[in-house]
Each structure stands twice: as C-alpha cells, then as structure tokens.
Amino acid sequence: MKKLLVLLALLVYGGFVYPQDARTFIPPKALLYMPMLKLEVEMISPNFPLKAYFPALIELESCVGLRNSRCWDPSSQLKTTREEGAGLGQITKAYRTDGTLRFDALTEMKNKHNEYLKDLSWNNVYSRPDLQMRILLLKSSDDYANLRTVKDPIVRIHFADAAYNGGLGGVYKERTACGLKSNCNPQLWFGNVEKVCLKSKVPIYGQRNACDINRAHVEVIFTSRIWKYKKYFPDAI
C-alpha cells in the first residue's frame, strides 16, 4: 500500500541486508504477532490458497529493515504532509496538493466490512494490531475474489498483490492491455502482465517510479519473503 515504505524495503533487500536474510530470517516480532495473525486468518480467510502470503506482506509493508525496531510492529508508520501509512499493512490515507483528502483506505474498508472493522478508527489504529491484520486480510481477499477470472489460484495472488500495492483498477487495465498485445498472456503475471505497466514512469522516490515499485513489490514477496513463512502457515490447497 505504501510506496515509500516499499521503496525502503526494496533498498534493504537490494543492499543493506544480505539477500539470504530476506529468504530465511524471521524478524523477532513476527514470532510475537504470528499467533494473532493465525487467528485472524482462520476467521477472515480460512480458504485462502497461500496463507504464507499474509505474513510476507506484513513483512514487506512494515519493515524498513528486517532488524529494525518497527519491523512487524503495529507502530510502524510512514507519515508525510501528503500521506500516512499505518501499522502492519500500511493502511493509508492521502491528500491532494490543496490539502483535500484524496483517499482513506481505512474508512473505505470500514464502510465495506463494518461487521469486522466497526471498532477501528484513525484514533486507535496503532493500538489495534488485530484490526490492522484484519483490514490487510480483507483487502487482500477482496482483491483475490475480484480477480476470479485468473484461473490459477497462486497466479491470482500475484495479481492481488499488485492490486494491494497499486490498486485493483490498474491491474484490470494492465491485463486488458496485455491481452491486446502479441505474446502476452493476461493469465500470467511474471513475464507477461508484469511487463505491461500503465502506471506513471515519472520518478517519485529517488530514481524509482510507480511501475518500478509496484513490480518489485510482487517480485520481492514471491522470490525472497514468502517461503520462510510456509511452515507457520500451511497451504490451504
């Protein structure tokens, strides 16, 4: 969800922490919060086909570094004058240049899933790790369900992850654009839709643009983060 925090995570992955750490190292606070996450997964997403995706997503969203004190911590925060990303899943609200609200993911998800999120607000979000997890699970599961035309369930999670970071509407448009190209399969992310990015190419953080960040989000999770969590979160299928 949050671009700057994702960028920092990618910088960690790319140089400041050895790559093998990302594949094998479990942040200490992950062991503290994974039992809570398991309970939330069984309530919200018991049939999700690759449950290890959820802790991997939390790691990428919340961890500037795998040994950082706010890695896997509900207090993890990205805050600028234009946006705020909160907690384990970087629940986000953002503002336009004139100060008006551009979007508020917490309020949108609460309105959609009030039965699960009625107790969540911007006043208590940092003190409710259970609800931070719940909104992450609901968002991921919603995107997964909305991408039902992707036949392979694991590949559908690739697309759902791209949607978590960059929006479901963008994924729809890029799948359509892929389908109109020769030698591009809209049923596949890696090597196919992955290469058809319609997001801005203007650098926003360092030399990275929205396409770079979105594509790296999926790649980092599925190449280096997810597999170490499978022993804690067995597959549903």
- Which pLDDT tens digit goes with each residue over 86-106? 999 999 998 988 889 998 999
- Give the CATH number of the domain where residue 210 resides: 1.10.530
Q: Evaluate if residue 176 carries a pLDDT over 60.
A: yes
The Cβ of residue 215 has, within 10 Å, a number of other Cβ atoms equal to 20
Predicted pLDDT at 22 = 85
- The more confidently predicted of residues 8 and 123 is 123
Expressed as residue numbers, the domain containing 147 is 3-75+129-229
Q: How many CB atoms lie within 10 A of CB 162?
A: 25
Flag whether 174 is in a domain: yes
pLDDT band at residue 143 under the 50/70/90 scheme: very high
Half-sphere exposure for 46 (CA within 13 Å, toward CB): 3
Residue 112 lies in a domain: no
Tell me: the pLDDT tens digits for 111-131? 999 999 999 999 999 999 999
Q: What's the total number of domains in the chain?
A: 1
> Is 84 among the domain residues?
no
At 225 the pLDDT is 93
Residue 12 lies in a domain: yes
- Give the model confidence (pLDDT) of 202-225 as tens digits: 777 667 788 999 999 999 999 999
Task: Determine what percent of the chain is predicted with pLDDT higher than 90.
Answer: 74
Residue 105 within a domain: no
Per-residue pLDDT reduced to its tens digit, 37-52: 999 999 999 999 999 9
**Residue 10 banded pLDDT, cuts 50, 70, 90:** very low
Q: What is the mean pLDDT of residues 61-68?
A: 91
Percent pLDDT > 70 in the chain is 90
At 81 the pLDDT is 80
- Whether residue 157 is contained in a domain is answered as yes
- Confirm whether 204 is domain-assigned: yes
**CA 165, 35, 119, 63 torsion: positive or negative?**
negative
Distance, in Å, from the CA atom of 235 to the CA atom of 74, rounded to the nearest integer, reads 26
* Average pLDDT score over residue span 4-18: 41
pLDDT (average), residues 50-68: 94
In angstroms, the CA 52 to CA 231 distance is 8
Q: Cα dihedral sign for 43, 146, 87, 54?
A: positive
Question: Is 92 contained in some domain?
Answer: no
Question: What is the arithmetic mean of pLDDT over 151-162?
Answer: 98
Q: What is the mean pLDDT of residues 155-162?
A: 98
Give the residue-averaged pLDDT of 176-180: 98
